[in-house]
Chains A and B, each alone.
Chain A
Amino acid sequence: MINKRTKIFLGLILLVSLFVFINGKIPVIGRNFLYEEKDFSDGKKRMFSDLYRFCRVEYFREEIPYVSNPGNQNFPDSSEIFVFGDSYFNTMMDTINVPLALQNITGKKICNASEYKGMVLSSPISFLKRNNIKPGRRRIMVVETSERYSYNSALKLYLKQNDHFTFFHFKFQLSKYLRFDDLDYWLSNSVFTEMFINRKAGFYFNNFGVISSEISEFSMSPKFLFYSEETNFNNMRKPESEISSISDNVNKLAEILDRDYNMSLIYLIIPNKFTLYGKYADSSYVYDNYIPKVYSRLNNNTNAVNLYELYSKLKESNPADYLYFTSDTHFNLRGREIAINEIIKRINKIYNEKQDNGK
């Protein structure tokens, strides 16, 4: 039988468990207990870099000022430019996201296709189909992908005609409510666990060199953390036939956009941080030239932006001028600026050609 004291004990367990669930599932409440939002004495909002969040080793701690992005949802019909990108374009923490920046600079209406109405779409074509875009005036589709995702997306997803409803999306939508990842995130980032997790990570790193499994490589000087997804991708064998298929699919995407939607493609792969700075962690590392190989097979109508070449040149001329955050996967303001400038050049070129043709 259960006595009164046990009931109180059980009641406490219930309260604590519910407290965790409420904080994990309702971000508005849970946010108040996240350590990174409590940690800055100057009151300015900052975020920790993603790879630091994984490893929690103090030595690599990097704070990035956080700028919240205003809504950037132009209707597809009225937009001049569509941007289809991943986290490099959409989750900039220290400044506005790339689609918004492009809109501010060009003055053109830009539709951020990758996050339009919260849809999770894998193919630019299916985005256009889903939104019933008709070929009208000449428009532009900017397709950006990080190097590590470029393989699968170009090989399997870009030419998908129909993303309307698949079991995958259904599952994804339902999973948001039924999975407990958010709880896990809150628990490992809350003020209640922060000290313990950080101390433990520090102890294992300082004494044994052990770091979170998400970090596959790191260098102490210069400070760099590398994401395992990137190093796995860079070390993966990539058959020439598949690289050709990737280029062929991007060429085909440009062709379909031009033929069926009267659109020009601007395609760019953002190099992995490990591609550029991998040697700092592993001096024997040799890049397999994946990006140059893909780019060498792309047609002119893809308007490809070769960031790898640009970044490599800059790195060579000024090695200390880093283009990526040291403990975040993404490019920093400098890397972003270069990407934006190059895209603007392509956009202007396309509009100039259009005007010339008009004359």
Chain B
Amino acid sequence: MFFNTLPFIFFFGVIFSLYYLLPSRFRANVLLVFSLIFFISNSLLFIFVILFLVLLDYYTIKLFNKRQSFKKTVLIFSISVNLIFLTLFKYINFLFTSLNSIGINFFVNIPQTFYEVFIPLGFSFFVFKSISLLVDSFRDTLKEKPTLRDLFLYFLFFPSVLSGPIDRPGALLKQFGNINDDFSNNIKTGLSFILLGYIKKSVIADRLSFFVDLTYGNIDNSSWLQILVAVVFYSFQIYLDFSGYSDMALGFARMLGIDIMQNFEKPYFSKSIQDFWKKWHVSLSTWLRDYLFLPLAYSSTRVLYRFRITPKSIEKFSYVYSILITMFLAGLWHGANSTFVLWGLIMGVYIVLSFLTRKQRSRFKKFTGLNRHKSFVSVFQTVFLFIIVSFAWIFFRAQSADEAVKIASKLLFPDFGGSNLFLLNTGKVSAEFSVYYPFALIAFIVLIEKYNLRERILYVFDNHGVIFRYALIIIMILFILFAGNFSANQFIYFKF
């Protein structure tokens, strides 16, 4: 049962109405009960693993208070247990296969049933949340020690349990005991995010997927132009799919008076790759920054200061080293597959190059007088960023590294010799629907984002009467139902 299915809407209807109809002291309990049902309906037996890990975290935090001397050991132990589980569920097959391919054979055969039964949806998100909780508790940045109920809610809160956002414990835990009671504002803001989420996911992303799947599934017979269109479509598909999910999560949480992190802040309007990563999957990128990049950078800087190296070189080396490790692990976090690792490394290289060339680029702009044409530079930067990010997405989407290289080389070294530049064979689906309609949808979403239409509609909403408001909501719902594709397309990020 996912957000983009009809049963979920009615499931939410039950939660939402009970939540506000019952006395406020029951609200957190209502959330916990329905979050458990939601989780179990998606990942049945895995609940036992989750229960174990939540209890482990709970008692670890308790031990932090009692045994100050063992704090670090306890922290390392608990994080290790989390990581062992993550490895067991996500990476063990990849590890053994990789080792087998280089001649190291393990006589361990993990039965398929294991994976069939324990398919842990959203486990990577769970582990990152858990590490956040443990580290923040270790650093004493949590104002209050969480109760067991709140801890379960922190991990299992249904809007964010499957694909995040990876909320910080401090921000989320305090809300469960003090839920925002502004009913009309909760509804209005929540609904606006939910509707936008459905437009992104069901109306646009799932329409783009047809052409993307068709082309990526048949690279050998696809022309340069067709691959180019598919690569562009995929850049939008992954953004709209994931940000659509995040908007829905945010909207459903908001309707219940709980604020969760906004995961996307119009990343494709960024001007640099660093800027992009501040706006793309914000909860993950800030997590990586706080719990991986900064500790790595500090520790490497400390080590390098022992040698006679200039502070500038230390800064450069430590940045490059920490970024590459962080982005490598970010790639690996997405999945046990060389394509994700390559994607992470490509992104890491982009960031490093951008960091190392920032002075030269600034000098170049001055030298050529480009710094006087800010709007031109701004457009160029946005387009250039979109191109390089789209190139990286090829590795993210391809089934294998070989396939990604094939797509990239077909794209970079086009063969225009063929009789038809656009070898489009979309079966019986018309070209208008498979190519031109998605382009129109992309233009539509770009306009929504560029001109902040969600906020504008909210403004209009506030300044009109009840009939207008209801009519507006009904029209939008009917539009989504009619234009949307609801044939059970899962969210791309669920597999992570």
Contact = CB atoms under 8 A, between A and B. Distances in A.
Do the two chains bind?
yes
9 contacts: A10-B16, A10-B21, A14-B14, A16-B10, A17-B17, A171-B116, A184-B7, A200-B481, A209-B430
Contacts of A170: 45, 117
B13 A14 contact: yes
Nearest to A167: B117
A324 B10 CA distance: 38
Contacts of B117: 167-168, 170-171
Interface of B: 1, 5-8, 10-11, 13-14, 16-18, 20-21, 37, 40-41, 44-45, 113-114, 116-117, 181, 183, 427-430, 432-433, 437, 481-482, 487
Contact of A167 (B21, B37, B45): B45
B433 A167 contact: no
Given A183-B10, A208-B429, A7 B113 contact: no
A21 interface: yes
Contacts of B430: 207-209
B17 A10 contact: yes
Contacts of A24: 7
Given A17-B13, A180-B8, 9 more contacts: A17-B11, A21-B10, A24-B7, A167-B114, A167-B116, A170-B117, A178-B44, A183-B6, A208-B429
Contacts of B427: 209, 217
A212 interface: yes
A168 to B, nearest CB: 6
Contacts of A204: 433
Given A167-B116, A208-B433, A209-B433, A188 B6 contact: yes
Contact of A180 (B1, B16, B18, B113): B1
B48 to A, nearest CB: 11
A13 interface: yes
Contacts of A208: 429-430, 432-433, 437
Contact of A184 (B5, B45, B181, B482): B5
Contacts of B429: 208-210
A168 B181 CA distance: 43
B183 A6 contact: yes
Contacts of A210: 429, 433
A178 B40 contact: yes
B16 A187 contact: no
Contacts of B40: 178
B161 to A, nearest CB: 15
Contact of A14 (B1, B18, B181, B428): B18
A6 B11 CA distance: 19
A7 B21 CA distance: 7
| Prevailing SS type, chain B contact patch | helix
A188 B9 CA distance: 13
A13 B45 contact: no
Nearest to A281: B428
Contacts of A178: 37, 40-41, 44
Contact of A209 (B16, B114, B183, B428): B428
A196 interface: yes
Contacts of A196: 481
Nearest to B486: A188
Given A13-B17, A17-B14, A208-B429, A180 B7 contact: yes
A166 B45 CA distance: 13
B44 A212 contact: no
A60 interface: no
A99 B487 CA distance: 35
A200 B479 CA distance: 11
Interface in A124-167: 166-167
Nearest to B15: A17
Contacts of B11: 17, 180
A21 B113 contact: no
For A1, A11, A210, which residue has the most chain B Cβ atoms within 10 angstroms?
Answer: A210
B312 to A, nearest CB: 56
B420 to A, nearest CB: 17
A308 interface: no
A218 B113 contact: no
A180 B41 contact: yes
Contacts of A10: 16-17, 20-21
B44 A171 contact: yes
A87 interface: no
A18 B14 contact: yes
A13 B6 contact: no
B113 A167 contact: yes
Nearest to A9: B17
B183 A1 contact: yes
Q: 10 closest A-B pairs (Cβ-Cβ)?
A: A17-B13, A208-B433, A14-B17, A167-B117, A183-B7, A180-B7, A10-B17, A209-B428, A17-B10, A20-B10
A171 B14 CA distance: 26
A175 interface: yes
A179 B481 contact: no
Interface string A269-295: 000000000000000000000000000
B17 A171 contact: no
Contacts of A212: 487
